[in-house]
Amino acid sequence: MKSVVVLGGTGFVGQQVCRLLTTHGWAVTVPTRTRSPAPPVTGVTVRELDVHDADALAKLVTGHDAVINLVAILHGDSATFEYVHVALLRKLVSACVRQGVPRVVHVSALGVDEVHPQTGPSEYLRSKGRGEAVLLHSAQAASLDVTVLRPSVIFGAGDKFLNMFAKLQAVFPVMPLAGAHAKFQPVWVDDVAAAVVRALERAPDAHSRAALPRIIEACGPNVYTLADLVRLSARLSGVRGGAGRPVFALPGWMARVQASMMELAPGEPLMSRDNLDSMKVDNIASGKTPGLEVLGITPAQLEPIAAKYLGHK
C-alpha cells in the first residue's frame, strides 16, 4: 500500500482530500499541533507534531511515497506569510530530499507568479509565489517530482465563503461590499480534491511527466464578480425570500477603511487590506496554463451544488 503525508489534512480541503485518498487505497498520515479525540477522516493516522519543526517534519515523511501540502493562511503580516508559505516549503523540500520521498503535490493559489513573485499586488500572492519558486527549483535541482495546483476560491458544504455571505445577509440589512467588481472562477472542493489525488497518482516517469504539467489551474466553468456571488448566496439560502440585501460597492478608499476596521476585530478578520490587494488581480483562469481538463476532470457548476448546502440555512 502506498503512503502519503497530508500537511493541512484537518482543514476544509484537506478532509476531502483525505477521504478520497483512503478510498483510493492510500495509507494517509495527517500531522496536527493539537490532536483531536478522533481523526478528521476514518482510516487516517493522526500524528501530533509541529510541521514547522524541521527535524520533526523529516521524521514524519520518512518512509512515505509522497507529501501533499495544503497549509496556507489568508491573513497575517509579512513575516507570518513568509513563515507559512515559504519557510515551510524549504523545510519540506529538505525533508523530502534527505529522506528520499520522491513526490510532492502542492496546492497554491490562482494569480501567483513563481517567476516574478514580487510583482504580486499582495503579500499573500507574493509569498505564495516565492513558495512555488522554492518547490519548482527543487524539482530541477534535486529531481523532486512536483505538481502545483492553483485553485480559484473554493466552494462546498462547510466553506467559509458562500456560507459567510449567506449568514451576514441573514443579520445585516445592507451589504457594503469591498472589492465588489473583483472576478472569481469558483471551483468545487470535490474537484480540487480529485485533482490532488489524480496528480499524485500519475507515475513520475518521463512519459507521464511530459503529459502532466508542473502547474495546473483549478477553476470552475463560470466567472462571477464578488457582488454576483454575494447575491447568489442570498438567493440560494432564501434570505428575504431569495431577494437578499442591497449590495453597495464601496469605493477604493472606503473599502480600505472598512478592511482596516475589520482587522481590529478579535479573531480572524472577514477582510483585510492584503485581501483587497489580492483582488486587484482577477481570480480567473489565465488561459496560459492547463486547467483541470488535463487531469480528466470536468469542473462542476456552482449553483446546483451550492443550492443543496445553502438551502438548509
Which is the CATH superfamily of the domain at 3-156+186-219+287-295? NAD(P)-binding Rossmann-like Domain (3.40.50.720)
The whole-model pTM stands at 0.94
Kind of pairing between the strands at 45-48 and 27-32:
parallel
- What does the block give as the cell for 3? 503512503
> For residue 148, what are the β-bridge partners?
106, 215
pLDDT at 128: 98
Closest CA to 71 of 168, 5, 27: 5
Kind of pairing between the strands at 175-177 and 247-249:
parallel
- What does the block give as the cell for 154? 473554493
pLDDT at 38: 64
pLDDT at 41: 77
Q: How far is Cα 262 from Cα 81, in angstroms, rounded to an integer?
A: 19
Q: Domain limits of the chain?
A: 3-156+186-219+287-295, 162-183+222-282+300-310
- According to DSSP, residue 16 is labeled H
- What does the block give as the cell for 244? 437578499
Instruction: Determine phi and psi for 257, rounding to 5 degrees.
Output: -65, -45
Q: How far is Cα 97 from Cα 143, in angstroms, rounded to an integer?
A: 9
Extract the residue ranges of the chain whose pLDDT is less than 70. Answer: 35-40, 203-211, 312-313
pLDDT at 142: 80
Q: How far is Cα 126 from Cα 46, in angstroms, rounded to an integer?
A: 32
